[in-house]
């Protein structure tokens, strides 16, 4: 039997969570390991359950899904987050990617696409609702571009770290900004340097500048 994909759900409406569970239940290789209704509950669930995929609403009673995404990734860095929202807007998509999500799905399409999105995001691949994917083709600067080097492509979180380093943040300041430990920042930095084939902060700043990363809002 294939290894189960462990999924957590965060939405402040119990009826929505139940509906998502029902959709996911059709795939026997997906196991819903918990539910949350707020940013705080999502953070705790991520720390306790370490799900492979976290399905995240944007509107929560104690913050936004973007806030929750950052805290989930800090608590469980290996988790991949799918934002599930009513907002079919490229600006929201960019904010989601900036927060570190891997997938972006419109609620009206959940019954058709949710299982596919979960399966794709569980492998670390990005999933974008087709309508917004088409919008990105028309406006390719709307979302963060990936940066790659001899050692491979930087992840969304590595881009976050690189941008902060290039802006002059210390490891400790970057850790505070991203709600992670200094050791986690050091690990990300080592991976960035290996992937880009650079050694010094000056080389990191140059790579970030040449890629246009520092020009992004």
> Do the beta carbons of residue 179 and residue 213 sit within 8 Å?
no
117 and 12 together in one domain: yes
What is the structure's pLDDT at 88?
A: 77
Q: Is 21 exposed, middle or buried (0-12, 13-18, 19+ CB in 10 A)?
A: middle
Average pLDDT estimate for 86-115: 84
Q: Please identify, among 70, 103, 138, the residue that sits at the C-terminal boundary of a domain.
A: 138
Confidence of residue 216 (pLDDT cuts 50, 70, 90): low
Average pLDDT over the chain reads: 85
Q: What is the mean pLDDT of residues 114-136?
A: 80
Give the separation between CA 104 and CA 117, rounded to whole angstroms.
8
pLDDT at 179 over 60: yes
Asked if residue 154 and residue 109 are part of one domain, the reply reads no
By residue range, what is the domain housing residue 162? 148-215
- The pLDDT score that the predictor gives to residue 152 is 76
Whether 29 has a pLDDT exceeding 70, the answer reads yes
By mean pLDDT, which of 68-72, 116-120, 163-167 is the weakest?
Answer: 163-167
The reply to whether 82 and 159 lie within a common domain is no
DSSP 45: H
Q: What's the per-residue H, E or C state across 130-150?
A: HHHHHHHHHCCCCCCCCCEEC
Query: What integer is the mean pLDDT of 121-138?
Result: 71
Do 170 and 86 belong together in one domain?
no
Q: Is residue 195 part of a domain?
A: yes
Q: Which CATH number belongs to the domain containing residue 71 in this structure? A: 3.40.50.2300
pLDDT 10s digits, 38-93: 999 999 999 999 999 999 999 899 989 999 999 999 999 999 999 998 887 777 78
pLDDT score recorded for residue 163: 86
143 is a domain residue? no
User: Of 111, 138, 165, which one is at a domain's C-terminal end?
Assistant: 138
Q: Is the same domain home to 168 and 119?
A: no
CA distances to 55, 109, 119 from 83, rounded to whole Å, are: 6, 13, 14
Distance CA 80, CA 94 (A): 16
- Predicted TM-score (pTM) of the model is 0.63
142-157 residue pLDDT tens: 444 557 777 777 877 8
Count of structural domains, the chain: 2
- The residue among 138, 166, 194 that closes a domain is 138
Same domain? For 42 and 92 the reply is: yes
CATH of the domain at 207: 1.10.10.10
> Taking the mean position of all CA atoms in its chain, how far away is CA 168?
24
> How far is it, in rounded angstroms, from Cα 93 to Cα 205?
26
In this structure, are 107 and 70 located in the same domain?
yes
Are 29 and 124 within one domain?
A: yes
Cα separation, 41 vs 109, whole angstroms = 26
Q: Looking at the predicted structure, is the pLDDT value of residue 34 above 90?
A: yes
């Amino acid at each position: 039997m294939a290894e189960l994909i462990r999924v957590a759900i965060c939405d402040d409406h119990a009826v929505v969570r139940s509906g998502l569970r029902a959709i996911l239940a059709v795939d026997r290789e997906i196991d819903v390991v918990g539910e949350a209704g707020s940013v705080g509950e999502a953070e705790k669930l991520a720390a306790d359950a370490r799900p492979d995929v976290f399905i995240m609403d944007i509107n929560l009673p104690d913050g936004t899904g973007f806030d929750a995404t950052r805290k989930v990734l800090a608590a469980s860095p290996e988790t991949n987050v799918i934002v599930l929202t009513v907002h079919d807007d490229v600006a929201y998509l960019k904010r989601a990617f900036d927060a570190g999500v891997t997938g972006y799905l419109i609620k009206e399409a959940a019954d058709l696409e949710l299982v596919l999105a979960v399966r794709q995001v569980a492998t670390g691949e990005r999933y974008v609702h087709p309508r917004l994917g088409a919008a990105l083709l028309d406006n390719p600067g709307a979302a963060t571009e990936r940066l790659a080097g001899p050692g491979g492509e930087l992840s969304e979180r590595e881009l976050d770290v690189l941008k902060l380093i290039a802006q002059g943040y210390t490891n400790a300041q970057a850790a505070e900004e991203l709600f992670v430990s200094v050791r986690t920042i050091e690990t990300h930095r080592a991976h960035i340097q290996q992937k880009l084939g650079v050694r010094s902060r000056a080389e990191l700043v140059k790579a970030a500048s040449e890629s246009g990363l520092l020009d992004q809002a």
